[in-house]
Structure 1
Amino acid sequence: MNSSESENPLDVRDVPPWTIKSTNSCLRYHRNSRVNSETFCPATFDNIMCWPPAEGGETLKQPCPPFKGIDPSKFAFKSCSEDGRWSGKTEDDFSRPQGFTNYSNCFLPVMKDLLEKLGTPEERKLKFTIAEGTRTMELIGWSISLLSLLLSLFIFFHFKKLQNHRTRIHRNLFFAMLIQVVVRLTVYADQAIVRRPDTSPNKPGIDNTPVLCEAFYTMIEYGRTCMFMWMFIEGLYLNNLVSVPFFQGPVSYKIYYLLGWGLPLLMTALWAGVTAVYHQTQCWWGYSFTPYYWVLEGPRFTVIAVNILFLLNILRILIKKLRGPQAQESPRETAKVKKSVRAALVLLPLLGITNSFNMMTSPVHRSPLEFGLWSYSTTFLRSCQGLFVCCIYCFFNDEVKRTLRHFWKRRMAARRGCRRRSNRSTSLFDNPSLLDAARRQSSVAARLRTSLDSQITIAPLGRRRQPSAAGIPAGAATAGSSSPNGTCL
């Protein structure tokens, strides 16, 4: 087939051939196509594109499909043998009725390198199956993280007792994670809808809409960069609590907001501009493999390194306190310090260190087993990181648990009080004798009040008579005028 490519191939451009999705559709579309030879290859579908019938000895070319990793300005080739059969990879290979399509010119250099690393066709198939499994795990992990982040933000905003300096930093970290989670789930949901087999191939979606697709991936990278910066602020704040602070005086949230939201905005804008100019592929496919991606990855690696230094310093100070005289004299203080050490160790994955695994090059050249272990472990850590952060900073936090327990106890006590008041009211009005007694008492109280008002009005202003409490029956003055202290809902 390589020799036939040098001949003048037949150019077929009537309709985008990748929009036809089955062999029957391809045959129906080309049912009226005619060739000028008795020996010809019939129309066929190679699972990617539809090919029209070709005369024996001819080579067809069609534009490459506009998929990710593909250069649509190049062409794919397919050859028909002299005896009217679609040619395979070699001249004497006719094992497949649809033959072999040469897409080697279609792939971008990054995709070519990736396919070479995937190994044999059997290994490629297995690794693609692993990739599909990790996508399912990713969807589940991001969904759980989304619910955890929303619940944590509700708790921190609903209870004013939890609104302090530390939780204020937590909330910003949760918001940064929420941006990334929401945008990722939106992209994945759109891909699931657009790529369904029963969906029209021309249906617009995020991936095939210029500018919109790039904007979504820019938002993902912005949210991820903000997450790294707020993790850095978490480490900085914790380090300042146990050691000499870098910034003396009260906490300046203007600096924190500039570091957490402003600096990532500048970094992401710079990266997006460079990528748009120098990496002009559909939806910036493969942008993470380009050297321009280090505009974002470089600062992220720096944040991870600084957070490791913060963590080591925190551990050093806490261990020093454990060995001090206070630890020997006060067992309670010792237990408290040990708990702080364990919390600091738990912070290891929360300060961005687990993200370093995702920055490493995927071991696609390794065996399917090694590739699967790496893919599933990194996907689990990345997609469930929102859940991990919420568990440590919110769900497992002692202050949060005390606040929720106190709220629940008050709620239960209020419901029990409402039931008791409701039972008393029901027993009063269900008993006719008690109801009549209450009515008579209210009537007597009303007549006494009228009599007293008339006496006070007639009396001289200087010698206004005061009513005698002795003449008022017990409970008459207050009958019918009291109101409950609370309202039961």
Structure 2
Amino acid sequence: CPPIFDNLLCWDEVPADTLVRQHCPGYYKGFVTTEYAYKRCTENGTWYSLPNKTRPWTNFTLCQPPRGTFTTGVKVEKNLRLLYTTGYGLSLFCLVIAVIIMFFCRQVLTFSLIPCASDSGVGFHAPFVFTRTIARLQRRRSSLLTAFHNSRPSCKWHWECRLIVSLFHFTICACHMWIFIEGLYLYMLIHKPFYTGRKGVSFYIILGWTLPVLNIIPWVIVKTTLENIYCWTVQENAYYFWILKGPGIIVIFVNIFFFVDIIRMLCMRMRSRDQHNGQSYRYVEKLTKFILVLIPLFGVTYIAFYAVQEKEGHTNIPYLYAEMTYNSFQGFILSFLFCFLNEDVHKELQRVWHRRKNRMGDHLMLTRSTLFSSWKKTSYPPHRAHSNFHSSQEHVHDHRTVERLIDRSDDLYKHALKRNAVELDKTDV
């Protein structure tokens, strides 16, 4: 029988009609590591499969923990898979729509409360979209590895699967780093608004995609040189995984510092400003609401998840459900908070719609006047010589009418643009 990987153990090539065994893997929660898992190679040189099944079967019966918790774990695994498939699918759909709207509304207020959402929307939302895509690829790694191993003499090397796992961890790192970038941008916007406004968001976009690369490269080097086993999904040495987990925790604590400092600055400004000033109070109110929604959403929740530690040999099922629900539906929540429910986006969409509607109305008016003028000229052709003079006068009159209509259309269009600009300036103020 050829070498094969059953998602838990790697089985080497064995002669036909052979029963082989391995110790139950210790990296699977709840398995009894002192027992053995068995796999049988049949007489015809194929791995044994259950009746009415085509996939090779491994006997993990002795590895099962007591009291039927293995069956419960299988049920929980199915529920979690359904949960994150639904959540990531819905998040992917909503984020794609949100990114399209952000590109369509690139002229959202110059100094908006979401200043980097329109310019860096792709950089902020793409990690979640990529996470969903890589997660789906990772789910297919088993079938890819099975076909790949059948054509190789051993199952020590399968760089395709490791590449997919590395990309998956890269997207997770990108999500954490973009949390830090968003907090850093708000922090700079509060302390140095003019400098940050002139500098733009290009620097933050580059930094947001560079930090995950600098984070994933050391982990790949360590896994390649010190723990190059299986598909890099097994963490025999937990300290190696802190190369990825540590920076994520650090940036979350830094974001908590940003949150406290920004709230402090807002309180100082609210004391110094006249709260009866409608525009100033409205600005501070909207900025406060935005920060209160953004920072806890990306910081405090992650801190709560990291604080809940799993006990040795015991899996916290409610913790798994809570974390998976939040992670999978995070993109869905973001798209609604920063796009679908955003007042500035609503105003910009209405402004674009009215602008297009006015342009279509002016164009339709000009087309009608031109067609009417052409109809008049073709309806009264010059039949007699003595009417040439009157025909030429009528032609000149129609031509002047068309010119007046064109000028009127241009004036209407300019007036509409000026009106929109005045509304935009009022909103900016």
Which TM-score applies when normalising by structure 1? 0.61
Report the CA distance shift for 1:406/1:481 in structure 2 as closer, same or farther (over 3 A).
closer
CA distance in 2, matches of 1:230, 1:311: 15
Q: If each structure's helix is expressed as a fraction of its own residues, which one has the higher value? A: 2
Aligned residue identity for 1:229:
M
CA distance in 1, matches of 2:384, 2:232: 85
> Structure 1 residue aligned with 2:339, among 394, 412, 417?
394
1:155 aligned residue? 101
CA distance in 2, matches of 1:212, 1:127: 29
Q: Give the aligned length.
A: 363
Aligned residue identity for 2:180:
F
Say if 1:70 and 1:108, in contact at 8 Å, map to a contact too: yes
> Structure 2 residue aligned with 1:351, among 273, 286, 298?
298
> How big is each residue's C-alpha offset from its partner over 1:355-385, in whole Å with a ceiling of 9 and x where there is no partner?
4456565568558xxx332222111111121
CA distance in 1, matches of 2:363, 2:398: 26
Q: Secondary structure at the match of 2:120?
A: helix
Aligned residue identity for 2:68:
E
Aligned residue identity for 1:347:
L
CA distance in 1, matches of 2:340, 2:284: 21
CA distance in 2, matches of 1:310, 1:409: 39
Is 1:473 aligned to residue 421 of structure 2?
no
1:66 aligned residue? 5
2:126 aligned residue? 175
Say if 1:142 and 1:185, in contact at 8 Å, map to a contact too: no
CA distance in 2, matches of 1:288, 1:343: 42
Say if 2:190 and 2:262, in contact at 8 Å, map to a contact too: yes
Is 1:109 aligned to residue 38 of structure 2?
no
Aligned residue identity for 2:349:
L
Superposed displacement of residue 159, structure 1: 3.1
Report the CA distance shift for 1:333/1:246 in structure 2 as closer, same or farther (over 3 A).
closer
Aligned residue identity for 2:176:
F
2:176 aligned residue? 228
Q: How does 1:83-482 map to 2 (within 5 A)?
A: 105-111=22-28, 114-115=30-31, 120-162=66-108, 166-167=116-117, 168-188=119-139, 190=140, 194=143, 202-204=146-148, 210-243=158-191, 250-251=198-199, 255-287=203-235, 290-327=238-275, 329-330=276-277, 333-356=280-303, 359=306, 361-362=309-310, 365-366=313-314, 371-412=316-357, 438-441=377-380, 443=382, 472-473=393-394, 476-478=397-399
Say if 1:149 and 1:178, in contact at 8 Å, map to a contact too: yes
Superposed displacement of residue 326, structure 1: 1.4
User: Pairwise CA RMSD of aligned residues?
Assistant: 4.5
> How big is each residue's C-alpha offset from its partner over 1:428-485, in whole Å with a ceiling of 9 and x where there is no partner?
79xxxx96x6424354899988x8xxxxxxxxxxxxxxxxx99713765529977987
Superposed displacement of residue 288, structure 1: 8.9
Larger-gyration structure (1/2): 1
Q: Secondary structure at the match of 1:68?
A: coil
| Greater RCO, 1 or 2 (C-alpha within 8 Å, sep 6+) | 2
* Percentage of identical aligned residues: 20
Say if 1:235 and 1:351, in contact at 8 Å, map to a contact too: no
Runs of 5+ consecutive residues of structure 2 not aligned to the other structure: 34-63, 150-154, 411-429
CA distance in 2, matches of 1:236, 1:70: 44
Say if 2:370 and 2:402, in contact at 8 Å, map to a contact too: no
Say if 2:169 and 2:216, in contact at 8 Å, map to a contact too: yes
CA distance in 2, matches of 1:446, 1:366: 107
Say if 1:271 and 1:292, in contact at 8 Å, map to a contact too: yes
Report the CA distance shift for 1:393/1:67 in structure 2 as closer, same or farther (over 3 A).
same
CA distance in 2, matches of 1:476, 1:446: 20
CA distance in 2, matches of 1:411, 1:447: 48
Q: Secondary structure at the match of 1:120?
A: coil
Say if 2:24 and 2:31, in contact at 8 Å, map to a contact too: no
Superposed displacement of residue 305, structure 1: 0.4
Which TM-score applies when normalising by structure 2? 0.69
CA distance in 1, matches of 2:166, 2:385: 76
CA distance in 1, matches of 2:13, 2:146: 21
Superposed displacement of residue 403, structure 1: 1.0
Report the CA distance shift for 1:304/1:294 in structure 2 as closer, same or farther (over 3 A).
same
Aligned residue identity for 2:128:
M
Aligned residue identity for 2:243:
V
Superposed displacement of residue 254, structure 1: 6.2
CA distance in 1, matches of 2:303, 2:203: 26
Q: Secondary structure at the match of 1:166?
A: coil
Q: Secondary structure at the match of 2:116?
A: helix
Runs of 5+ consecutive residues of structure 1 not aligned to the other structure: 1-14, 17-62, 80-100, 196-200, 452-468
Superposed displacement of residue 137, structure 1: 1.1
> How big is each residue's C-alpha offset from its partner over 1:23-71, in whole Å with a ceiling of 9 and x where there is no partner?
xxxxxxxxxxxxxxxxxxxxxxxxxxxxxxxxxxxxxxxx9x6233325
Say if 1:239 and 1:245, in contact at 8 Å, map to a contact too: no
Report the CA distance shift for 1:421/1:122 in structure 2 as closer, same or farther (over 3 A).
farther
CA distance in 1, matches of 2:303, 2:184: 19
